[in-house]
Amino acid sequence: MRQTLNHAIVQRAWPLIAVLAVAGASASFMFTLVVPIQAQLPELLKSPREATAWVVTITLLTSAVATPISGRLGDLFGKRKVIMLLLIALIIGNILAAASTNLTVLLVGRGLQGLMTGVIPLGIAVLRDQLPPKRIGGAVALISGSFGFGAALGLPISSFIAETMDWHALFWTAAVLGLALLALVAWIVPRDTVFATGGFDYIGAIGLSAGLTGILVAIAQGNAWGWASPATLAFGGGGVVVLLTWGAFEMRLKNPVVDLRVAARPTVLMTNLASVALGFAFFSSAVLFPQILQLPTSTEIGLGMSLMSIGFILAPAGLVQIAMAPMAARLNRNVGGRATLVTSAVVISFAYVLALLAATEIWQILLANALVGAGIGIGYASMPMLIMGAVHSTETGAANGLNSLMRALGTGSAAAVMGAILAGSSAGNSAPTAAGFQLGFAIALGATVTAGVLALCIPKPLPIHARAMDVSVRETELEENVSQH
């Protein structure tokens, strides 16, 4: 019986992992989908550039808000069900965007597309529920790497579509992808057998959404509005006040949308803080390297590449992230999540040291960006394992959703900070200067070192299999799942 059970688990493991990995890559693809047409949006939509900037911003906002909330919904009502609802939102959003002729409809569609990011922590939670402990590490590493993989490959794909077809074809393509994924999830992802107890905290969800929206709008629009402008201070300060009030309210609830008591556990807290720093380090490269490649050769540092060429130069970093999945799984298993996260910071530090020393040739940028991809592939694989080693299985979706939010705060902050640095260095010039890029690389290096120091502060984690369920109970659950599917 045991041999039959193991064979059945192995048979359905790879299709499950593959579908969830493609879903994660598709979520990140939504962020690079409009990059090739971003500069043309004011003309295409007959709207001012300040307004069309929201085509990118609104996806980031809905993504950050949806990630922790969808994780809690998945814990309560079933992860498979919530994944399918997010895919339906993705399909509707792309159809609206594909049929849009004005900015308002496009913004609604792009907002719905951002909800898809919630699939990543839900997919990780599904793997914890459905796979035996020894297979979880590699599967989680692959799902975590899929986000960078989708973003990296999304740029050349979307560039090709935008250059050869009408811009609406970008969204029709994404809608077809969503339909295919919905069918595959319905077919392959098993129904949930583990649920959290209690109701959904609607007031907490609204408070979290309002607070995050205020802070993220301030971050996203700070460069355009001015960091000391009344609008930036009102959104940022208001967001902080709302989140502080929300936190006090959540601490009084038995079943909050985000359990801050769980978030305050040393392992979870330090992992989340390291996630912010590592997210900052990751997205700094996504801002700095493309700018160097795209700026004209007449500038002090630019290489004058086309957008499609840039996509192909940067795409290997995504492939490296996926390739790091087996290594990350072995590191997690052999030395633990803490040491793996420290290793990630060391690898990314080498990338930024290289960029500080030399970032004037294509091969130098390709190598440095690949090192960032390798480090992120290792680090992002370790974070969910650290989180899952510190929380119960019924808290996995919400806890990983919060961790994904922390990464998003890091990436959003990096976009704002690096944008401000480059804008400041270009004052009086037509393009950013080499000194501006050097400062950006130095700050990114500092963030990477900070992530490594925070990782060293994480308590030694328990192995993922040393949790509340003992092995016999776990095998009984797996046997029941296999018999049902």
Q: What is the DSSP letter of 240?
A: H
Rounded CA separation 362/137 (Å): 34
For the record, the structure tokens of 159 come out as 């560039």
pLDDT at 5: 41
* In contact, 307 and 442? CB cutoff 8 Å: no
Please name the residues in contact with 243: beta carbons below 8 A apart, sequence gap of 6 or more: 207, 208, 211, 212, 215
| Whole-angstrom distance, CA of residue 346 vs CA of residue 355 | 14
pLDDT in tens, 388-432: 888 887 777 778 888 888 888 888 788 778 888 887 787 666 678
Whether 356 and 438 have beta carbons less than 8 Å apart is answered as: yes
For 164-193, the DSSP string reads HS-TTHHHHHHHHHHHHHHHHHHHHSPPP-
pLDDT at 35: 80
Q: How far apart are CA 125 and CA 366, in angstroms?
A: 34
Measured distance CA(348)–CA(320) in Å, rounded = 13
Alpha carbons 240 and 65: distance in angstroms, whole number: 15
How many Cβ atoms are within 10 Å of 371's Cβ, its own excluded? 22
Measured between its terminal Cα atoms, the distance across the chain in Å is: 16
What does the longest C-alpha to C-alpha distance in the chain come to? 75
Using only C-alpha atoms, the chain has a radius of gyration, in whole angstroms, of 22
Q: Mean pLDDT for each 10-residue chunk of the chain (485 residues)?
A: 47 84 89 82 84 84 86 90 96 96 93 92 87 81 78 81 89 96 94 82 91 86 84 94 93 85 89 93 88 84 84 85 84 88 96 92 92 91 87 79 84 81 73 88 96 92 44 44 47
Name the pTM for this structure: 0.81
DSSP class of residue 255 equals: S
Residue 254's identity, in one-letter code, is K
- CB neighbour burial string for 250-281, b if at least 16 within 10 angstroms, e if fewer: beeeeebbbbeebbebebbbbbbbbbbbbbbb
In the prediction, which pLDDT does 44 show? 87
The contacts of residue 476 (CB under 8 Å, 6+ apart) are none
CA distance linking residue 103 with residue 34, whole number of Å: 13
Instruction: Name the residue with tokens 């290997």.
Output: 316
The token pair at 323 is 């390739």
Distance between CA atoms of 438 and 176, rounded to whole angstroms? 42
Identify the pLDDT of residue 137.
Answer: 80
What is the predicted pLDDT for the residue at 428? 60
